[in-house]
Every structure is written in C-alpha cells, then in structure tokens.
Amino acid sequence: MAPLLTEEESAIDPYAILGLDVDATAKDVQKAYRKKSLLYHPDKNPAPEAIATFRQVSLAVGILKDQNKKSYLDTRLEDDRKKKARYAEMDKKRKKMVDDLVEREEQAKKARVEQQHRRRQEAEEESIKDAGKRMLEEAQKKAMAAAAATVAPSPAPTPSTEKAASNGESGPDITPECLTLIFILPSTSTVSQPQLLKSLTTSYGAVNHLILPDPLPSTPAILVEGTKKKKTKSRKAVVEFAKGNWGGCYSCCRDVEDGKVGKLGVEGVKVKWAVGEAPSWVAWAETQLPSRRKPSDATAASFSFPLPSPSSAATPPSFTSAPVFSPSTSMADLLASHAKERSSKDDVRRRREEAESMTLSRMRMMEREKLEAEIKRQEEED
C-alpha cells in the first residue's frame, strides 16, 4: 500500500504553515489560504523565497482538504505530541534526580567538613590534655627522684645495741668485708667477668668490686701411661656488694645455697663468705624477713629497709637497682608526636572519604544508566 503522504508532504506541518489549530474547519483553511496567497503568490511577490513558501502553502491546503490525508496527519501529530510530552516528563524526572543527587552530595560534603572540623578540635584538645598529663608525670618523677636522692639514711646501730638488733629495730654496722662473697665456679664454666657483673647487678643490686679470672683455654688432655689425670682447678670470683645493699648480698647468698642459680646463669656454682663464716648481721637480716617475723612483733608495722648512704644514693637498699627515670620531654616534642599521630589519622580519614565519594559517583552513574535504559525502552515501544 502506497503511503498517503509523499516525502515532500511528510516534511511539512500544514497547521504550522497556515497558522491554524488542529481543530480548524475547512472554512478556516480557505481563509488562511487566501491570506497567505496575498503575501506569497508569485503574481503578488516574485521573490524566490516567496515562491518556495507559496509551494508549501499549496501543499498544506491540499493535505487539509483531503480527509484521508488529514486524518493520517492528525494521528501522526497526536502521537508526536504524546511522545514529546512523555519525553518532557522524563526530562523533568531526570532533572529532579540530578538535583537531588547534587543536593545530597552537598549535604554529605557539608557533613564531612563539619565532622573533620569537630575531629580536629577533639584531636587538639586531646593532644593538649596528653601533653599536660605527660608533663605532670615528668614533674612527679623528677620530684620523686630528688626526694630519693636527698633523703637522709637511717642511723646504723652500734654492736652494743644487741638487744635492739635482735628485735629488728635497726641493723648492725656492716663493713665491706662482711658484704663480700666468694663464688666457686666449675672449671667448665665459661662465664666472663662482665657477664657475671651484669647478672649480679640486674638481679641483686649494686656491686662495688668483682674479681674473676678469665677461663683457661681448653687443651686436649694427654695421658701418659702410669700417670694420673691432673685435676682441673675451679674458678673463684670475689664479689663485694655496695654499702647499704645488704639485702642483695643476703638474697644472693641464700639463692646460691638453695640452688637457685638461674639469675646468675651459672650451673654448679657454690658460695661462701669472705670472712669465713656468716657475719653477725646475717642473723639480724633473717629477723627482718616477713616469713621469719611474728605478726605480734611490736616492730612489724614500723620496720622498713635501711636507706643507702649519700655516697650511694643512686643504689637502692632493695635487691634490685633503682628505677631509671626517663629524661624530661618538652612541650614541643609532645606536640610534634601528637601532630604525627593526627597526620596518620587524617590520611585514614581522607581515604575513607574518597571511598565514600566514589560510592556516590557509582550510585549516580547507575541511576543515569537506569534512566537512559528506560528512555530507550520507551522509544523502542513507540
């Protein structure tokens, strides 16, 4: 079946050319034709443009006077109008969707900026609090160290106060010879003087002197027939504990006698006093141990270990060395460390924000693709 409209007729809009509405009557068409003829008829207007315009006017009138062509044209124009209205509605929805996305992104950006500002303020407040806390701790440590260095030692009793010493009220006068131990090490021991000194000071406190000969080099034993095997001599170490460190001396002697040599790191070691037998202060020291004292002892609540003399203020009277206080830290160092921590936190937060932004971009792209697919589907249906 041949098309109702030719290619030239399909390319024009008769109603637009004649300036009429879709519901115009035949009388309206004739009236519009007369007006256009007065303007564009070749007899009235010989211009080339007027001739082309009059040609379109003639085609428009011919279409509108033919009822079949007019019906076909009206149907096509109505479909086009509906399609344009549908496209306009979709454009409106798309514009609204884009506006909503932009608004949500602006709100999210504003929320991120506010959150960053709030976190920055909290971090600054926390850094100031931490800096103040650390400075206070450093000041307290300095005060404790100064107090420990300036405190006066407890007066040592004389040997004549035997009764007071037996009650644990104060200790006897301890000489350096009475704080000296002799360690008998096995001949197979290879421990050196620095190693033994480190073990002693770490486990039992300060040591004034340590004498330990180096181990002899191991040589293969050559036995001659008819001779006895020569016995290898053991090694001896002489250790003088610091004045006031009677607790470390007593503990070391008892540990070795009881076989607890793990702190020294030497197996099979033996110990004896340099003065031959246990000094008199050992009996007094045993009365100071919590396991040896009775709860009813009148001096139980008032007993405390004697403090070191001013010459050995850095050496504690206990079995271990005094705590080492860390050097003071300035406010600039503290703020610099907090700035470094805050920078690392900012990097983590920035990566998280970039991930959120990428997620929003993907969501917007998916919505656009969905809308375009819907438009394409509707176009195919039309």
Q: What is the pLDDT of residue 111?
A: 92
Distance CA 200, CA 188 (A): 20
Q: Please list the rounded mean pLDDT of every run of 10 residues in the chain (382 residues).
A: 71 88 87 89 86 89 88 87 89 90 90 91 86 84 77 44 43 79 83 84 85 66 51 78 85 84 76 85 75 42 41 42 44 67 81 81 82 82 74
Q: What is the pLDDT of residue 334?
A: 59
CB neighbours of residue 93 within 10 Å? 12
Q: Residue type for 107, please?
A: Q
Q: Which residue, among 309, 36, 352, 326, has the nearest Cα to 174 in the 3D structure?
A: 309
How, if at all, do strands 270-273 and 180-185 pair?
Answer: antiparallel
Q: What is the pLDDT of residue 231?
A: 57
Do residues 334 and 134 touch, judged by C-beta distance below 8 A?
yes
Beta-bridged to residue 183, according to DSSP, are: 237, 271
Distance CA 312, CA 144 (A): 17
Distance CA 305, CA 72 (A): 118
Q: Cβ neighbours of residue 296 under 8 Å, at least 6 residues apart?
A: none
Distance CA 122, CA 116 (A): 10
Query: Phi-psi category of 241—alpha, beta or left, where left has phi over 0 and alpha has psi -120 to 50?
Result: beta
Q: What is the pLDDT of residue 289?
A: 62
Question: The domain 7-65: what is its CATH number?
Answer: 1.10.287.110
Give, in degrees to the nearest 5, the angle at Cα 103 between 102 and 106. 85
Q: Is the pTM of this model over 0.75?
A: no
Q: What is the pLDDT of residue 322?
A: 39
- DSSP-assigned letter for residue 102: H
Residue spans per domain, the chain: 7-65, 177-215+234-288
- Torsion sign over Cα 15, 21, 27, 32: negative
DSSP 230-267: PPPPPEEEEEEEPTT-HHHHHHHHHHHHTT--TTTT-T
Q: What is the pLDDT of residue 234?
A: 76
Structure tokens at 347: 């990097």
Structure tokens at 327: 């050097």
CB neighbours of residue 84 within 10 Å? 10
Distance CA 303, CA 214 (A): 42
Question: The domain 177-215+234-288: what is its CATH number?
Answer: 3.30.70.330
